[in-house]
Amino acid sequence: MIKNIVKKHLVDQYGDFTLVRLTGGYTNETFLLKGTTPPLVAKVASSLTPDIHNEINCLKKMTHTGIAPKVYDVFKERNVHITILEYREGQNGQSLLDHHDIDRTNDLYRFLGKTLSKDIHSQKYTFTSDGIRTCNLHELNINLDFVPKDLIRDSKEILEKLHDQQEDWVLTHGDYGMHNVLFTANNQLTVLDWEWSEWANPLIDIGWVCWFTHLHYPEHAKRLNALFLKEYQTHAKIDLSAEKVKGYCVYKVWKILMKVQHAPQQVQQEWIRRLKWTIETDII
């Protein structure tokens, strides 16, 4: 169904091509248009979700940095939204660690720190959103019925300690980390999947890298997160308060809990487990 819609809209403009589903950094609704010159990517999503519009606005803003794919075109049909993107070479960052390539993973974490500080967080908030979400920390409603009351109570206590100021906001990716990048042999980094980007405190992205590594790869987290944080601080000074980092990670988990409130129970329970883990764990 999706492939037929993509072919119908794009064959006249881009000629004959074969659709190849992409994995490893791209979402499952992303296809390589094999046979076009230059190679192109079609990202397919429901036009009813605000995430895709948020991503397009963010990608356009990031064009000059070279770290994100360029947006070439946008097509809509009924409830389907097709974004045509530049194709980028590279290996999914997470697969490096999954294949035990420790030296390359070390390099990757250094480049994650450098890219985040120099190319992403250097985009300062000027009190104009440019069609990109703004952080809603102060309006966050965390009274979801399926979340245990003790976790709601503990979350509120942690979040109330965050004195979030718009003056500190920068462009944040929202799901930054090795799982959402492509990394080439000559150390070129491409950052993918900007749907959750927002103007917010930089500790959201910094904390999320450390959170993801600590949760999924605890045996490597101390070394990799230290490399990432050291490189970030080489290019941008920031107060890495452990309490604030935990607070912004709790904020991110609650944002996801809100997204899964109508998901299957096992999905909700997994994110409840992760919320509890986040509250109880020193992220950095």
Amino acid 49: pLDDT: 80
To 10 degrees, the CA torsion angle through 247, 252, 253, 255? 130
Amino acid 7: pLDDT: 72
Closest residue by Cα to residue 124 from 78, 172, 156, 189: 172
Please check the confidence at residue 27 and state whether its pLDDT lies above 60: no
Amino acid 95: pLDDT: 96
Measured distance CA(233)–CA(250) in Å, rounded: 23
Please check the confidence at residue 28 and state whether its pLDDT lies above 60: no
Amino acid 75: pLDDT: 85
Greater confidence, 121 or 3?
121
In percent, the amount of the chain with pLDDT more than 70 equals 96
Span(s) in the chain for CATH 3.90.1200.10: 91-280
Amino acid 188: pLDDT: 96
Please check the confidence at residue 24 and state whether its pLDDT lies above 80: no
DSSP 117: I
Measured distance CA(75)–CA(81) in Å, rounded: 6
Q: How confident is the prediction for the chain on average, in pLDDT? A: 93
**3-state DSSP helix/strand/coil percent for the chain, to nearest 5?**
50, 15, 35
Average pLDDT (124-129) is: 97
For 2-86, CATH gives 3.30.200.20
Amino acid 26: pLDDT: 55
Amino acid 84: pLDDT: 94
DSSP 177: S
Span(s) in the chain for CATH 3.30.200.20: 2-86
Greater confidence, 76 or 249?
249
Average pLDDT (235-257) is: 96
Amino acid 22: pLDDT: 85
Residues composing the chain? 284
Amino acid 1: pLDDT: 61
pLDDT digits (tens, 9 = 90+) for 107-120: 999 999 999 999 99
Amino acid 138: pLDDT: 86
Measured distance CA(111)–CA(20) in Å, rounded: 29
pLDDT digits (tens, 9 = 90+) for 147-188: 999 999 999 999 999 999 999 999 999 999 999 999 999 999
E strand or H helix at 284: none
Measured distance CA(169)–CA(256) in Å, rounded: 20
Please check the confidence at residue 231 and state whether its pLDDT lies above 80: yes
For 91-280, CATH gives 3.90.1200.10
Please check the confidence at residue 275 and state whether its pLDDT lies above 90: yes
Measured distance CA(19)–CA(24) in Å, rounded: 16
Measured distance CA(99)–CA(275) in Å, rounded: 28
Model's pTM, two decimal places? 0.94
